[in-house]
Amino acid sequence: MSTADDLVVTHDEQAHRWEGRLDGEVVALADYVPRGSSIAMVHTEVDPRHENQGLATKVVDAALADVRARGLKVVPACSFVRLHVRRHAEEYADIL
């Protein structure tokens, strides 16, 4: 059985989302809307069969690292993302 450590996060630019996969199946995602020099993260979702395993956090952390690497800012429009960056304010202050 796969665990959160096995999660592979990829960026699907055409779909405007980061996807977390276990055994090739999308089990978590974070949707966004590009806004010039920023990205509005508007929705996160985890397959109910995989809830409470930290998968949304792993996808959001990977997404925020990607935003930073691209030199962009993030608008945390999704309540999960907003709470996550608030809890880790020092870590993400440079991209808010």
- Domains contained in the chain, number: 1
Domain that holds residue 71: 4-95
Over 70: is that where the pLDDT of 1 sits?
Answer: no
Over 90: is that where the pLDDT of 5 sits?
Answer: no
Percent of the chain having pLDDT more than 90?
Answer: 95
**Phi and psi, residue 47, nearest 5°:** -55, 130
- Report which of 6, 5, 7, 17 is spatially closest to residue 66, judged by C-alpha positions: 17
Task: Pull the structure tokens for residue 74.
Answer: 């993030």
**Is residue 13 a contact partner of residue 31, using CB atoms and an 8 Å limit?**
no
Q: What mean pLDDT is predicted for residues 45-59?
A: 96
**Is residue 10 a contact partner of residue 19, using CB atoms and an 8 Å limit?**
yes
Q: What mean pLDDT is predicted for residues 19-42?
A: 97
Percent of the chain having pLDDT more than 70?
Answer: 99
Q: Residue 23's domain is classified under what CATH number?
A: 3.40.630.30
Over 80: is that where the pLDDT of 2 sits?
Answer: no
Q: What mean pLDDT is predicted for residues 35-52?
A: 97
